[in-house]
Amino acid sequence: MTQGKDRVVLAYSGGLDTSVAIGWIGEQTGMEVIAVAVDVGQGGEDLQVIRQRALDCGAVEAYVADAKEEFAADFCMPALKANALYQGAYPLVSAISRPLISKHLVRAARQFGATTVAHGCTGKGNDQVRFEVSITSMAPDLKTIAPVRDLALTRDVAIDYANRHHLPIETTKNNPFSIDQNVWGRAIETGFLEDLWNAPTKDVYNYTDDPTYPPLPDEVVLTFEKGVPVAIDGRPVTPLQAIQEMNRRAGAQGIGRIDIVEDRLVGIKSREVYEAPGAVALIAAHQELERVTIERELARFKRRVDERWGELVYDAQWFSPLKKSLDTFIESTQEYVSGEIRMSLHGGRATVTGRRSDASLYDFNLATYETGDSFDQSHSRGFIEIYGMTSKLATARDVRFGKGLEVGEGAL
């Protein structure tokens, strides 16, 4: 190994593009490459196999990290507490993994003395922004490069390079889709999906079975403590175990398939297909438990905060001051979000069928219409009079100025 050369850490997946990028970066920049592989639950090959492949492809060092537990606890659980669904649908599958991967890239850069970080993103996606903003937030002295975007490493060039250099990587498989997956879900794009009229075909999906022909309904009881799932059907679970089990059970029922046209950070619209069975089921359960345990005005405001939190994370602002402040607010709302939610998983739907909590704000005696009703209905007349007073006064003013509300053919 040559001493004194600048070094670059590369976000390494073990696939064709990043394997070729090791040698390509070296040739184009003269820097030594350290490969960084972070397991966030994407499945596939063993980390040590990936590590050896990186070394065989020319990396001078290889950093591997099993970050599944960290990802589930420190990134998926905050998303769950925020009921994070970008544009009301997308549970931020890729968006929440990029800050974690960036954290390990920075850690590896410090460990191996690198001055630059490289990633495999293109110039039109969201992830280039997420990686680079995250990295500069943690380590503003580090430079970043993207071989595909900055060094002309196109797919055909990568295949030719791998064949000429006899790299230990498969180059003949032609996957029509671009896929990113982790324990929180799976994102699929490009190929024939770019035509908005084309329906997804069966081969698009992997985490979910066809909901058209589901097995028998699966009833599950989820126990939460302060917004975090801690048991399933009475069995204690870690955050990672909770996500994995719900991925399996909800996925078997075809739950969590999402097909949307999404507003990307870079300003274009993109057709995206997602599978997130565990995330969708857990968020549905968490939202229902919040309805039982969070006071009305706080719940109304939190829904606005949740939406903004999701937008910030989607828009590469995981480490921003506003997102950190919203984290503090959201965490404070979870103090009483403890209890049990019973759900029926069946035919593509996760339906809440029961809820109970020692911290519940639901009072049976106030809610019931039967004998034992403790709600004093005589108070309602005065309440309505006071509640409607401002509208009543405003309407009377409109009438004085000839601007009464139109009702039928006349005006008030």
Residue 13, annotated as binding a ligand: yes
Is 66 part of the annotated catalytic residue set?
no
Residue 338, annotated as binding a ligand: no
Residue 172, annotated as binding a ligand: no
Residue 339, annotated as binding a ligand: no
Is 271 part of the annotated catalytic residue set?
no
Q: How far apart are CA 73 and CA 83, in angstroms?
A: 15
Q: How far apart are CA 103 and CA 2, in angstroms?
A: 27
Catalytically annotated residue among 17, 39, 180, 315:
17
Look-up of token digits 């979000």? 337
Residue 366, annotated as binding a ligand: no
Is 178 part of the annotated catalytic residue set?
yes
Amino acid identity of 12? Y
Catalytically annotated residue among 46, 110, 155, 178:
178
Residue 11, annotated as binding a ligand: yes
Residues 6+ apart with CB under 8 A from 41: 68, 71, 72, 181, 182, 183, 184, 240, 244
Is 102 part of the annotated catalytic residue set?
no
Q: Which two tokens stand for residue 361?
A: 């704000």
Residue 17, annotated as binding a ligand: yes
Q: Which two tokens stand for residue 151?
A: 């060094």
Residue 90, annotated as binding a ligand: yes
Residue 161, annotated as binding a ligand: no
Catalytically annotated residue among 39, 53, 94, 98:
98
* DSSP alpha helix (H) spans, 212-295: 239-252, 277-293
Residues 6+ apart with CB under 8 A from 10: 18, 21, 22, 25, 33, 34, 35, 36, 59, 117, 118, 119
Look-up of token digits 């040559």? 2
Residues 6+ apart with CB under 8 A from 109: 9, 34, 115, 116, 117, 139, 142
Please, is 165 exposed, middle or buried when counting C-beta atoms within 10 Å of its C-beta (0-12, 13-18, 19+)?
middle
Q: How far apart are CA 179 and CA 362, in angstroms?
A: 44
Radius of gyration of the chain (CA): 26
Residue 15, annotated as binding a ligand: yes
Catalytically annotated residue among 39, 127, 180, 306:
127
Residue 238, annotated as binding a ligand: no
Residue 18, annotated as binding a ligand: yes
Cα separations in angstroms, 259 against 186, 210, 350 = 12, 14, 17
* Number of alpha carbons in the 13 Å side-chain half-sphere of residue 297: 0
CB-based contact 263:89 (threshold 8 Å):
no
Residue 178, annotated as binding a ligand: yes
Binding residues for ATP: 11-19, 120
Catalytic residues: 17, 98, 127, 178
Binding residues: 11-19, 90, 120, 122, 126-127, 130, 178, 262, 274
Binding residues for L-citrulline: 90, 126, 130, 178, 262, 274
Binding residues for L-aspartate: 122, 126-127
